[in-house]
A and B are shown apart, each in its own frame.
Chain A
Amino acid sequence: MSLLEVINLHKTFRLKTKGKVSENHAVNQVSFSINQGEVFGLVGESGSGKTTIANILMQLESSDSGRILFEGKEIKQFPYGDVQIVFQDPRSSLDPRMNVRTIISEPTQRLDAKRRNELASEEHLVEIMQSVGLRPEHLDRKPHQFSGGQRQRIAIARALITKPKLVVLDEPTSALDISVQAQVINLLKNLQRDNGLTYLFISHNMGVVKYLCDRIGVLNKGVLVEVGTNAEIFSAPTHEYTQKLLASVPTMHGRL
C-alpha cells in the first residue's frame, strides 16, 4: 500500500546575475512513492535536491508544481502529527533554552485536545524517553547537558511523540561519531520495526543507506535518475550516475 506518492514535483530557483536570469531546477519533475512500512532512501550529493524535497514535504518551502498523495488522497498539507522530521545537526535542532519535556511535547500543540492530552501526558513522555534509550529524569534537563548522540535521541523522541505515519530523516547520523552512529542506526531500525513506521531516509552515506534502506532513489542535480530495490541499486545499478557515485565511495578494502 503506497503511503506517500510524489508526482512531478518541481521547484525552480531563479538567479539574477549581471542582468541575466538563470534558472536552477532544484527539483526537476521528481516522482516516487513510498510504501507503508518501508525504509525509502533518497541519496544524492550537494545540489541534488534531496534537502529541497524534504523541505517541501515538511512545508518549509513551497513547490512550483506537482502533486502529493498521502494514503491515497491528494493533499496540500499533511494532517498535523502524521509526518515528522529528524534533522542532521543535533546541536541546533533543539532549543537550548527549553528543557527536554517542553521540546519533545511541542509537536502535540496543534493536535486536538483529546489526542494532545493523551500524547503529551507524563506516562507517554516517559514511555517515549525509554524507547529512545533515555531516562525519565532527563526530561527536566536542558540540551547542553547531553552528548551529540543523546541529543539526536531527543530529536527522535520529539519526532515520535505524535505517533507519526511517516518520518523524514535528513542525514540523521552524518554529524555523529562512528561509534555513536551505530547506536543511533540500531535505534532507528528497532523503532521502525517495533512501531511499523515508514521512513524517508535522506543521506549521502552509502554504507548507512545500504544497511537500512529497502528501496532507494538516486538524485542528480534535481533529477531522479534511478529508483530501485536495495539489491538492484547496489549490485546492478543501471544509470551511469549511480555507477559513478558507487564507484567513488571509498571502501575499507582500498580503491574499488
Chain B
Amino acid sequence: MIIRRTTTMLKKLTGHKFNLMAVVTLAIIFVVGAIGPFVMRFSPLDTNAEKRLLSPSWTHFFGTDELGRDIFTRIIYGTRISVGIALISILVAALIGTFIGAFSGFVGRWLDQLIMRCTDVLLAFPTLVLALALAAALGASMVNAAIAIAIVKIPIYMRLARNQALSISERLYVKSARTNGLKTFWIVRKHIVPNLITPIIVQVSLDIGDAILLIATLGFLGLGAQAPTPEWGAMISTGWNYLIDQWWYPTFTGAAIFITVMAFNILGDAVRDLFDPKVAQ
C-alpha cells in the first residue's frame, strides 16, 4: 500500500522531463555527498606548493587552487557541507516553527497575538540581511551559520503552521478531543500538526534551495565555514580573485552551486504541484 503510493508519487514527480532531470541530478548529488569522499584520490586539505593553480587535466579534473589543493575533491567534500547544513537548518526550522505555530493557532487569544507579532518583527527583515547580522553576531563558523539560517526560516513555518492550525482547530474531531478532556499538547501533537504537514513539506522542499544559497553567501562573506574547510561559498570568495587567469577556480564551484540550487528549486516546484489540489486534478 505504501509502496504503491510512493511509486505513484514518484511517477507524478518525474512526469515531466524537467522534473526527471532534477530528481536524477539530486540523486547524483546525494550519492556524491555521501560516498564521494571515500573514493577520492586526493585529500581536500593537502597543500602542495608545486601544484599551484594548475589548469584542468586528467589528474585534476577541475584544476588546483592557490595552495595546490585539488578543486574537484574540494567541491565533492563541499557537497556535504552545503547540502548537509541546508537540510539540517531547514528541518530544524520547520520542526520548531511548526510546533510553535500550531500551538499558537490552537490556543489562540493573547498568546497567539503575542507570538504572531514577534513573527511579524522577524519577517520584516530581508532574509539575507537578518542572516548576515545573526551570523556576524554569533561569530563566523559553520555551526553558527546553520543556526542563523534556522532562526531566519523559523518565522515562516510558524506563520504557515499557525494559519493552518486556526482552521483545523475548528474541525469537529478537534472539538471531540476537547470534550474528552485531552490536554492541549496532546491535541497539538496528535491532531493539529499531522493535519497540516502537507504545506509544511512543500515549504521545506522550496526552502532547501534557498538555504544552500544562503550558506554559500555567508561563506563568500567569510561568515560561514572557515578555511581550510572546503565550503563552496568560501571557495568562490578566494577564487574569484583568480577569475581572469585561472578561470577554472571559481567557475566549477559556481556551477556546482548553480546546479544544486536549481535542482532543489525544480524539485520544490514539483512537490508543490504534486500536492496542489487543482493541478492534481
Contact = CB atoms under 8 A, between A and B. Distances in A.
A106 B195 contact: no
A4 to B, nearest CB: 15
Q: Provide the main secondary structure of the chain A interface.
A: loop
Contacts of B180: 80-81, 84, 106-107, 109-110
A87 B172 contact: yes
Contact of A94 (B173, B178, B190): B173
Interface string A71-92: 0000000001100110101001
Contact of A106 (B171, B172, B182, B194): B182
A92 B179 contact: no
Given A95-B195, A97-B194, A97-B195, A60 B172 contact: no
Given A97-B194, A97-B195, A110 B173 contact: no
B277 interface: no
Contacts of A80: 180-181
Contacts of A158: 176
A84 B177 CA distance: 11
A92 B173 contact: yes
Contact of A60 (B175, B182, B191): B175
10 contacts: A60-B175, A60-B178, A92-B171, A92-B172, A93-B176, A95-B194, A106-B180, A109-B181, A110-B180, A110-B181
The residue among B177, B181, B182, B194 with the most chain A CB atoms within 10 A of its own CB is: B181
Contact of A59 (B173, B178, B195): B178
A58 B181 CA distance: 10
Chain B interface extent, by class: 10 to 19
Contact of B173 (A58, A84, A93, A109): A93
A109 B180 CA distance: 8
B173 A95 contact: yes
A83 to B, nearest CB: 8
A96 B175 CA distance: 14
A85 B181 contact: no
Contacts of A60: 175, 178-179
Shortest Cβ-Cβ A-B pairs, 6 listed: A93-B172, A110-B181, A95-B173, A107-B180, A58-B179, A97-B194
A87 B172 CA distance: 7
A89 B176 contact: no
A175 to B, nearest CB: 11
B182 A95 contact: no
Nearest to B195: A97
Contacts of B172: 87, 89, 92-93
Interface in A95-125: 95-98, 103, 106-107, 109-110
Nearest to A93: B172
B195 A85 contact: no
Contacts of A87: 172, 175-176
A60 B177 CA distance: 10
A87 B186 CA distance: 21
A93 B179 CA distance: 12
Given A80-B180, A81-B180, A95-B190, 15 more contacts: A58-B175, A58-B179, A60-B175, A60-B178, A84-B179, A85-B179, A93-B172, A93-B173, A93-B176, A94-B173, A95-B191, A95-B194, A106-B177, A109-B182, A110-B181
Interface in B123-151: none
Nearest to B173: A95
Of the listed residues A81, A92, A95, the one surrounded by the most CB atoms of chain B closer than 10 A to its CB is A95
B176 A110 contact: no
Nearest to A109: B182
B151 to A, nearest CB: 30
Nearest to A143: B173
Contacts of A109: 180-182, 186
B141 to A, nearest CB: 40
Contacts of A93: 172-173, 176
Contacts of B191: 95
B182 A110 contact: yes
Contacts of B186: 109
Contacts of B171: 92
A14 to B, nearest CB: 16
A107 B181 CA distance: 8
A32 B86 CA distance: 62
A80 B175 CA distance: 15
Contacts of A110: 180-182
A107 B179 CA distance: 9
A119 to B, nearest CB: 12
Nearest to B178: A60
